[in-house]
Structure 1
Amino acid sequence: MTDLATIACDQFYPYPTHAVWRALTEPELFARWWVPGDIRPIVGHRFTLDMGSWGAQPCEVTKVEPERLLVFTFAEGDLNSTLSWRLEPEGSGTRLFLEHSGLDRGTPLGRQAYAGMGAGWPKVLATIEGVLAG
């Protein structure tokens, strides 16, 4: 039985949108707050993320609106989910909205991912500020 779910969370950063965009789209910065991978803000760009014990996860960029929206598939063949990163200016900073969608809670892997990532994403998003400050 398919039971698709979405994890949604957001984080405010006291930094301009272009700085947060760089943290999402430059591989060197991206690796400092999450995991290594050759991410690029180019629709159709295929890359892998090194998820450690979860292995190399294939991804593909599906939508880009510079300094506003980055969407890519995540863990194709395993989770078959999508990560959507949306940036909105807020005062003198930026609010980042993350949606991790397509997690199938009807499968053991999907349930495990939903529980783990549901608790983990807010912590991951909090680490971006250290990269921005550094």
Structure 2
Amino acid sequence: MTRTASETRTVVVEREFAHPPEKLWRALTQPHLIAEWLMRNDFTPVVDHRFKLEADWGVVDCQVVTIEPHRSLSYTWAALGLDSVVTWTLTPTNTGTHLRMEQTGFGPDQTRAYQGARYGWPKFFDALEQSVARLG
């Protein structure tokens, strides 16, 4: 069944980072860095590349949808009955980068997944911030 946009929910997390977009981009696209703040993975920044994110609780099946280096990245996120899309947008600021993550596609019957994402993404952002701070 196809849902309309009005029937789905979105999780958005935004944060200012005191780092340039290029540095954040590395953390969002290099597998060893993604593993530091998100999950183990076999990511490659190539449109249509299929990859997996692996955690103790299971696997997320993903596919790269769009890539604009240092600006935007999106990929599908399918796990535990959820079919969604995660989009990262990097906007340069005077002091670093405004990072926006949007995960769309939570159905009305997927409250648990939606609440999990609302809880989990800010924690991933905290880990991302620590990971980026360690980059040279």
TM superposition score normalised by structure 2: 0.89
Residues 20-65 of structure 1: CA distance to partner in whole angstroms, max 9, x if unpaired? Answer: 0000000000010111111122101000110321x11110000111
For 1:35 and 1:22, locate their aligned partners in 2 and report how far apart those are by CA, in whole Å.
15
For 1:31 and 1:11, locate their aligned partners in 2 and report how far apart those are by CA, in whole Å.
20
For 1:76 and 1:130, locate their aligned partners in 2 and report how far apart those are by CA, in whole Å.
26
1:115 maps to 2:115: yes
The Cα RMSD (Å) is 1.6
1:23 corresponds to: 27
Aligned residue for 1:75, secondary structure, equals strand
2:46 corresponds to: 42
Which has the higher mean CA deviation after the structures are superposed, 79-88 or 69-78?
69-78
Check conservation: 1:105, 1:114, Cα contact below 8 A: no
1:125 corresponds to: 125
| Structure-to-structure mapping, 1:3-14, within 5 angstroms | 3-14=7-18
Q: For this pair of structures, how many residues does the alignment match? A: 130
Q: Shift of residue 94 of structure 1?
A: 0.7
Q: Which consecutive aligned stretches of 4+ in structure 1 deviate over 4 angstroms post-superposition?
A: none
What stretches of structure 1 of length at least 5 have no aligned partner?
none
For 1:36 and 1:105, locate their aligned partners in 2 and report how far apart those are by CA, in whole Å.
29
